[in-house]
Amino acid sequence: MRFYTQTRPYYCGIDLHARSLYVCIIDHNGELCVHKEVKAAPEPLLRLITPYLGQIVVGVECMHCWYWVADFCEDHKVEFILGHALYMKAIHGGKAKNDRIDSHKIARLMRGGNFPLAYVYPKAMRATRDLLRRRTKMVRYSAQFKAHVSNTSTQYNLAPPAKGALRKASGRAEMSTVFDDPSVQRNVDLDLQLVGFFDQEIGQIERYIEREVKNDNLRDLKLLKTIHGVGRILALTILYEIGDIHRFETVQQFASYARLVKCKAESAGKSYGTQGNKIGNAHLKWAFSEAAVTHLKGNPKAQAYLERLQRRMTKAKALSVLAHKLGRCAYFMLNNGKVFDEKRFLG
């Protein structure tokens, strides 16, 4: 975990909410300069920090509405830092807790060098990344409706639809006359209509994203697509979740951020299992887990490698190892600008 350790004449801690801000500004000596609640809008915030422009750093806890504050600071040339929510336990403890106290604690953490830093994702790529995340959620919704159709068929002792049949309009049409009970058929028809709607919207989102890809990402996109099983959308998901690969100094930092490794909990020479498994980027974890599965399809060499791993561990752990290895491989590919080398990867 990285902490903000730079010194500034003034530190501004903001307890951020959707409709209000509690702003606390302290100087280098810890003296209170401003401690006030204002409306969550650029104009009131600008009035408060105007006397300190050029000498102040603004910090907020990472939550759903930090985008506009980061953009506001960028527009007015104000240094902005984002606090890692899971590491900012200092503002959640104590006998009394309110917005006034929290904003003061945030400012104190910044001044004392104990403010845990999260990555401020670039504004230019932020909207596309969020759209890719939305697409992933829609794919999962569609899969749930397809699974319900299959489970309902099994429930009434009928043959489930063939694999991939529900992706096509013809396959969904065949399922519209399967059940004798009109209520059961109506239940399945609802699933089929939602599957058709979601698949149509997913296709439109994918075409839109492919048109919006910036030219500076094309090289990295082509590099990732040289990995067997990694298509355009999966490669884009990995790229936009990473942002700038050079923000990771080592491959170990990248693997930890992508949730590809587990952390040990030790004390007094004794191991207490693992902890912090949910700290990191869940979307990157999913992307590399998906890449591990697709990498095996139609790839006898990779399948043989997985079989060798399964002699020493379960299949689930073997797939995790393969995902970890793909993540490390992607890190070096993007850093060095080299294509995927399967012989070296499986060697």
Would you say 287 and 238 are in contact if contact means Cβ atoms under 8 Å apart? yes
Residue 67, CA atoms < 13 Å, CB-side half-sphere: 9
Q: Rounded to the nearest 5 degrees, what angle is found at the Cα of 90, between the Cα atoms of 85 and 93?
A: 105
Pairing relationship of beta strands 115-118 and 3-4 according to DSSP bridges? antiparallel
Strand partners for 252: none
Which of the residue ranges 95-99, 200-204, 231-235, 236-240 would you say has the lowest mean pLDDT?
A: 95-99
Q: What is the mean predicted confidence (pLDDT) over 323-346?
A: 92
Using pLDDT thresholds of 50, 70 and 90, give the confidence band for residue 117: very high
What does the domain layout of the chain look like in residue ranges?
3-120, 125-212, 218-346
The predicted model gives 111-117 an average pLDDT of 93
Question: Is the pLDDT assigned to residue 31 strictly greater than 70?
Answer: yes
Nearest to 40 by CA among 5, 15, 12: 15
Q: Which long-range contacts (CB under 8 A, 24 or more apart) does 162-170 make?
A: 166/192, 166/195, 167/199, 169/196
Residue with tokens 């299992």, as numbered in its chain: 273
Cβ atoms of 233 and 131 closer than 8 Å: no
Among the listed residues 296, 283, 284, the one whose alpha carbon sits nearest the alpha carbon of residue 322: 296
Residue position matching structure tokens 């910036």: 214
Name the band, by pLDDT with cuts 50, 70 and 90, for residue 305: very high
Query: For residue 211, what are its two tokens?
Result: 């048109």
- Using DSSP, state whether 155 is helix, strand or coil: helix
210-268: pLDDT as tens digits: 888 766 578 899 999 999 999 999 999 999 999 999 999 999 999 999 999 887 777 77
**Beta strands 56-61; 10-16: pairing state:** parallel
- Whole-model pTM over 0.75: yes
First to last CA, the chain: 33
Place of tokens 């100094």: 249
Q: What is the rounded distance in angstroms from the CA atom of residue 102 to the CA atom of residue 85? A: 13
Q: What is the DSSP letter of 231?
A: -
Q: How many C-beta atoms lie closer than 10 Å to residue 23's C-beta?
A: 22
* Mean per-residue pLDDT of the chain: 91
Give the mean model confidence (pLDDT) for residues 194-220. 87
**CA torsion angle for 149, 155, 156, 157 (degrees, to 10)?**
100
CA-based nearest residue to 72, from 100, 102, 40, 36: 40
Residue 344 carries which side chain, given as an amino acid letter? R
Give the model confidence (pLDDT) of 44-90 as tens digits.
Answer: 999 999 999 999 999 999 988 999 999 999 999 999 999 998 888 76
Say what percent of the chain tops pLDDT 90.
76
pLDDT band, residue 346 (cuts 50/70/90): confident
CATH superfamily ID and name for 3-120: Ribonuclease H-like superfamily/Ribonuclease H (3.30.420.10)
Q: State the residue for tokens 């990473």.
A: 242
Cα 252 from chain centroid (whole Å): 18
Which two tokens mark 238? 């990995």
Tell me what the mean pLDDT of segment 285-290 comes to. Answer: 95
Taking the C-alpha atoms of residue 275 and residue 263, their distance in angstroms, rounded to an integer, is 6
Q: What confidence score (pLDDT) does residue 216 get? A: 59
pLDDT of residue 204: 94
Beta-strand runs (E) in the chain: 3-4, 10-16, 20-27, 32-39, 56-61, 79-83, 115-118, 263-267, 270-275
> Is pLDDT above 80 for 145?
yes
